[in-house]
Amino acid sequence: MKLNQIITSLLETDMYKFSMGQTIFHQFTDYKTTWTFKCRNEDVHFTQKMVQEITEQIKAFCKLRFTEDELAYLDNIKWIKGSYVDFLRLWQPRFEDFEIGTDAPCGLSIEAKGTWLNTSMYEIPTLAIVNEVYFRMAYDYDKLLDSFKKRLDAKYENLKNGHWYAGTFSEFGLRRRLSAEAQELAVQKFAHLNDTLHSSSKFVGTSNVYLAKKYGLTPVGTMAHEWIMCTGQGNHRHNPAYSNWYALDAWIKEYGVLNGIALTDTITTDCFLRDFQLTYATLFSGVRHDSGDPYEWGEKMIAHYKSLGIDPKTKTLLFSDSLDFERADKLYRHFCKEINVAFGIGTYLSNDTDVPALNIVMKTTICNGMDVAKISDTPGKGMCKNPDYVDYLNRCIDYRMKNDR
């Protein structure tokens, strides 16, 4: 490796990987998945030297193991069970699960194939590695970091003096961060926000479990789109238009009323609401927005809670789609009188520099030999290798929406 090792701990991933991982371990150990990397930036190219460095960094990641100190930290999280911690004590990434090459328009292709237990844990570290390698090798990194620090200082001051009010917010930027150094600077900075008497905004945690442990913060995260896609579409006996029901049912079996923020947009929020009826709406503490118009979504969720006789003030709307503090401020002021509002803010906190951030993803594309897809509330955010399957899934959703009342 030409660069220092980027991922240095297996805790250096998003919290929802452990939330989903425990349930996969207890209920879906036999599921197998394929994950596919995609760069959505049309003007970005990864050189051969970058691809080689990414390969070496992933090899180094695959040599890591959980330490007893890290396992003890996980064991103290109230909803993590000892059986899962014991599994993690034995678990290790496998470089053999990766296929890394140059056969893609951007010059970098990555696929990971294997058990869902394994491959789910590869997504976040892989994306963090790709980001950091790219920005260190394509630009003058020191200049980028200087611009990052200046912008970070300005954000902090604007929150501290009340120019923006972001309510309760967390840092969600691991997958698209400029670097490990930059993300840690952001977490350090905003951890001090809670110490000032001048700020009414509250920083509650980070999705990065390693940094949460290091700075005594709350590790934040429940479920991702992979959860709904695989539990709902990875079984040939399931109608994929009911993906949310299968996902919510398995989650409640694992956690009951704990760890309960539901993701709504995997096969559209309108379809999600067909399954998010009284039992689930009561047991889950809130819902997360990740695509579509946030105002329309929020009003729709408030109306849904009211239609079920649930007081919206007992629930939380968690916004996490392409946020900055200005947008968060406006969303908070719009919704705060009717429902609790929280924010998960990613790239804006971990990779805001003088150059545009990468728009890269790594998504589940196959589960148990079958295509899976995310439809989303925003056209273009989905990803699937088979357009025929997307058409089939859309027709299933359309039929249900028209006929299943």
Give the model confidence (pLDDT) of 350-382 as tens digits.
999 999 999 999 999 999 999 999 998 887 777
Tell me phi and psi for residue 180, to 5 degrees: -60, -40
Same domain, yes or no: 164 and 298: yes
The one-letter amino acid at 163: H
Q: Clarify whether residues 101 and 160 are in a common domain.
A: no
Does residue 166 have a pLDDT over 90? no
What digits encode the pLDDT tens for the residues 108-148?
999 999 999 999 999 999 999 999 999 999 999 999 999 99
Cβ(212)–Cβ(10) below 8 Å:
no
Q: How confident is the model at residue 192 (pLDDT cuts 50, 70, 90)?
A: confident
Q: In the chain, pLDDT over 70 holds for what percent of residues?
A: 99
Rounded-to-integer distance, Cα 312 and Cα 102, Å: 49
pLDDT at 386 over 90: yes
The pLDDT score that the predictor gives to residue 381 is 72
Domain presence at residue 403: no
Note the pLDDT of residue 225: 96
Find the mean pLDDT for residues 335-340. Answer: 96
- Mean of pLDDT values over 264-292: 96
- Smallest CA-to-CA distance from 155 within 319, 351, 14 is with 351
The radius of gyration of the chain's CA atoms, rounded to the nearest angstrom, is 20
* pLDDT band (50, 70, 90) for residue 231: very high
Mean pLDDT of the chain: 95
pLDDT band at 209 (very low <50, low <70, confident <90, very high): very high
pLDDT category at 88 given cuts 50, 70, 90 is very high
Domains identified in the chain, total number: 2
Domain CATH for 39: 3.20.140.10
Q: Answer yes or no: is pLDDT of 195 > 90.
A: no
**Do residue 198 and residue 337 come from a single domain?**
yes
Closest CA to 344 of 172, 224, 174: 172
Pair (319, 373) in one structural domain: no
Q: Quick one: 156 and 292 in the same domain?
A: yes
Mean pLDDT of 32-57: 97
Cα separation, 47 vs 260, in Å, equals: 42
Whole-structure pTM value: 0.95
The pairing of strands 168-171 and 109-115 is unpaired
Q: Cα–Cα distance between 104 and 111 in angstroms, integer?
A: 11
Structure tokens at 324: 């900055």
* Spatial separation of the C-alpha atoms in residues 301 and 312, rounded to whole Å: 9
Residues found in the chain: 405
Of all residues in the chain, the percent with pLDDT exceeding 90 is 92
Backbone angles phi, psi at 235, to 5 degrees: -125, 120
Q: If pLDDT is split at 50, 70 and 90, which confidence band does 198 have?
A: low
* CB-CB contact of 116 with 24 (8 Å): yes
**What are the helix (H) ranges across 91-222?**
116-119, 123-138, 141-160, 180-191, 209-215
Q: Looking at the structure, tell me whether residues 90 and 183 fall in a common domain.
A: no
Answer yes or no: do 127 and 82 share one domain: yes
92 and 181 belong to one structural domain: no
Residue-wise pLDDT tens digits, 150-165: 999 999 999 988 899 8
Is residue 32's pLDDT more than 90?
yes
- pLDDT of 197 above 60: no
List the structure tokens of 85: 């911690």
Q: Out of 93-107, 183-197, 229-243, 247-261, pick the least confident.
A: 183-197
Are both 128 and 148 inside the same structural domain? no
Strand-pairing partners, residue 286, are: 261, 316
Is residue 355 situated within a structural domain? no
- Domain span holding position 69: 15-139+362-383
Q: Do residues 110 and 46 share a domain?
A: yes
Give the neighbor-by-neighbor strand order of the sheet with 286-289: 218-219, 202-206, 168-171, 340-345, 316-319, 286-289, 261-263
